[in-house]
Structure 1
Amino acid sequence: MDTVVDAPVKTFIQVTEIWVPEADRLVLAEGNYGGLAAFEEATRAISFGKGEGLPGKAWAEERPVVLKGFDGSYFKRIEAAAEAGLTSAVAIPVFDDATLKAVLVVLCGDDETRTGAIEVWHEEDGLMMLDDGYYGAARHFEWVSQHTHFPRGQGLPGGVWSANTPMLFRDLGSGYRFIRADSAGKAGLTTGLGLPIPVPQDKTFVLTLLSARGTPIARRFEMWDARPVKVGKETAAILADGICERDGPLWTDDTQQEPRRVTAHQGNIGKVLATGLPLVASGKPSLTEGYDSMVALPIYDDGAISHIVAWYC
Structure 2
Amino acid sequence: MSALAADIPTATFVEVTEVWVPKDGRLVWSSGNYGALDDFAAASEKQSFAKGEGLPGKAWEEARPVVLKGFDGSYFLRAEAARKAGLTSAVAMPIFAGSDLKAVVVVLCADDAVRTGAIEVWHEEAGVLMLDDGYYGAARHFEWVSQHTHFPRGQGLPGGVWAANAPMLMRDLGSGYRFIRADSAGKAGLTTGLGLPIAVPGGKTFVLTLLSARGTPIAHRFELWKTRSAGPDGAKEAVLTDGICQRQGPLWDDETETTVAAWQGPIGQVLGSGIPLVKFDSAAQTAGYASMVAVPIYRDGAVAHIVAWYY
TM-score after normalising by structure 2: 0.96
Deviation of the 1:8 alpha carbon: 2.2
Percent of aligned pairs with the same amino acid? 69
> What's the CA shift for 1:23?
1.1
- How far did residue 9 of structure 1 move? 3.0
Letter in 2 for 1:74: Y
Aligned equivalents of 1:285, 1:303: Cα separation in 2: 36
AA paired with 2:96? F
In the alignment, the residues of structure 2 paired with residue 117 and residue 245 of structure 1 have an alpha-carbon distance, to the nearest angstrom, of 18
Alignment-derived partner of residue 85 in structure 2: 84
Q: Secondary structure at the match of 1:5?
A: helix
- Superposed CA RMSD: 1.5
Q: Which residue identity is paired with 2:268?
A: G
Deviations along 1:42-73, whole A, 9 cap, x unmatched? 11232100000000000000000000011110
Query: Offset of 1:149 from its aligned partner?
Result: 0.1
8 Å CA contact 1:5, 1:291 repeated in 2:
no
- Give the aligned partner of residue 128 of structure 2: 127
Matched, 1:275 2:276: no
Counterpart residue identity of residue 188, structure 1 = G
1:251 Cα shift? 1.4
- Work out whether 1:264 is the aligned partner of 2:265: no
User: Does 1:153 pair with 2:151?
Assistant: no
Equivalent position of 2:57 in the other structure: 56
Q: How far apart are the structure 2 equivalents of 1:276 and 1:300?
A: 9
Query: Following TM superposition, by how much is the alpha carbon of 1:41 offset from its aligned partner in structure 2, in angstroms?
Result: 1.2
Q: CA, structure 1 residues 117+285, in 2 after alignment: closer, same or farther (shift >3 Å)?
A: farther
Which secondary structure state, in structure 2, belongs to the residue aligned with residue 145 of structure 1? helix
SS at match of 1:21: strand
SS of the equivalent of 2:309 reads strand
Contact 1:4-1:291 at 8 Å conserved across structures: no
SS in 2 for 1:274: helix
Aligned equivalents of 1:164 and 1:77: distance in 2? 34
Aligned match for 1:297, one of 283, 295, 309: 295
Q: Given that residues 194 and 208 in structure 1 are in contact (C-alpha distance below 8 angstroms), is that contact kept between their aligned partners in structure 2? A: yes
* Secondary structure, aligned partner of 1:182: helix
SS in structure 1 at match of 2:186: helix
Shift of 1:182: 0.2
Is the aligned partner of 1:5 residue 2:5? yes
Aligned partner of 2:164 in structure 1 is: 163
Compared CA separation, residues 72 and 9, structure 1 to 2 (3 A): same
Match of 1:27 in 2: 28
Q: 1:111 to 1:225 in 2, by over 3 A?
A: same
SS at 1:253 equivalent: coil
Counterpart code for 1:250? L
* CA gap 1:133/1:259 in 2 versus in 1, 3 angstroms: same
Question: 1:230 aligns to what?
Answer: 230
Letter in 2 for 1:230: A
1:192 alignment counterpart: 193
Aligned length: 308
SS in 2 for 1:42: helix
Shift of residue 131, structure 1, vs aligned partner = 0.4
Instruction: Report the alpha carbon displacement of residue 5 of structure 1 after superposing the two structures with TM.
Output: 3.3
Amino acid at match of 1:132: D
CA distance in structure 1 between the aligned counterparts of 2:30 and 2:111, rounded to whole angstroms:
26
Aligned-partner residue type, residue 301 of structure 1: R
Q: How big is each residue's C-alpha offset from its partner over 1:87-128, in whole Å with a ceiling of 9 and x where there is no partner?
A: 000000000000000000000000000000000000011000
Q: Which amino acid aligns with 1:271?
A: Q
Is residue 94 of structure 2 the alignment partner of residue 96 of structure 1? Answer: no
Assess, with a 3 A threshold, how the Cα gap between structure 1 residues 225 and 16 changes in structure 2: closer, same or farther. Answer: same
Q: What is aligned with 2:202?
A: 201
CA-to-aligned-CA distance 1:193-221 (integer Å, 9 cap, x gap): 00100000000000000000000000000
Q: CA deviation at 1:303?
A: 2.0
